[in-house]
Amino acid sequence: MKGKKGLMLGLMAAAMLLGSNFVGEKVYANATPPQQNQQQLIGEAAAIKTVLAQNPDWQVKKIELDRERGRLVYEIEILNKNQEKEYKIDAETGAILKYENEREFLEFDSTPSITLQKAVEIAVGDKKDVVLRKAELEHDFGKLCYEVRFTDGTQKYSVKVNAKTGEIISSRVHSDKW
C-alpha cells in the first residue's frame, strides 16, 4: 500500500482482524517480494492469526518476511508478560515450520503500554507514500521501545518509540533507499 491513507487502511484492517495484536503492511527484510509468477503469499494478517490462535493472550512483538533455504518465511515473535516465543510460518502455505520458546526477561517487564499499530502511527506521523520495512518491540538501553523502519521512496527512516509512553526516543533519516 502506498501513502498514509493506504498505510492507515492496512493498519485498520489488520487491527480489526487481529484486535490489539497488530502488525500491518508488507515487511520484506532479507527477502524480496514474490514475483508475479510465484504463488501468492498468505499475508501478514493470516500468519499472525495462525500464531495467535495458539496463543490468544499474547501480543505480536515482531514480524519479518525472510528467505530461508529458498522459501519465503514469516518470522513472528510474540510475548506475554516476561515470556517470548518465536514462530516461523511458511509465507505461501501458512504452515508452522518452527516454534520455540525464545527467552524470558526476568529482570524487567516486557509488556508495552501502546500497541505496535500505535507505534507505527506515531513514527510515520504525517509522512506520505510510506512503505513499512520493519516494526519490532525491543529493549534499548534498558527501555522498552518499538523500532519502526520505513521509506517514502526517496529517504529511509528509523524511528524508536517508547513502548510505555509513546514518546519518540530517536529518529534517523537517510537519503538512500533500503
- Per-residue pLDDT tens digits of the chain, which is 178 residues long: 444 444 333 433 344 334 444 433 344 444 444 444 456 889 888 998 999 999 988 988 888 888 888 999 989 988 887 788 999 999 999 999 998 886 655 455 677 899 888 998 999 999 888 877 788 888 876 788 999 988 888 889 999 999 999 999 999 997 764 4
Q: Judge whether 88 lies within some domain.
A: yes
| 3-class DSSP assignment, residue 68 | strand
> Residues 163, 112: contact at Cβ < 8 Å?
yes
CB 37 within 8 A of CB 53: no
Residue 39 domain-assigned?
yes
Of 119, 157, 122, 111, nearest to 136 by C-alpha is 119
172 domain residue, yes or no: no
Amino acid at 106: L
| pLDDT on residue 163 | 93
Q: Which helix (H) or strand (E) is 131 found in, with range?
A: strand 131-140
Residue 163 lies in a domain: no
Report if residue 142 sits inside a domain.
Answer: no
* Structural domains of the chain, count: 1
For residue 119, being part of any structural domain is answered with no
138 located within any domain:
no
Q: Among all chains, which residue has been given the C-alpha cell 527484510?
A: 29
φ/ψ (deg, to 5) at 13 = -65, -45
What's residue 39's pLDDT? 63
**Whole-angstrom Cα distance, residue 80 to residue 72?**
26
What residues are paired with 144 via a beta bridge?
139
- What CATH number corresponds to the domain at position 75? 3.10.450.40
State the pLDDT at residue 96. 94
Rounded distance between C-alpha atoms, residue 32 and residue 46, angstroms: 19
Cell of 92: 505461501
Q: For residue 144, is it within any domain?
A: no
Tell me the residue range of the domain where 75 lies: 30-104
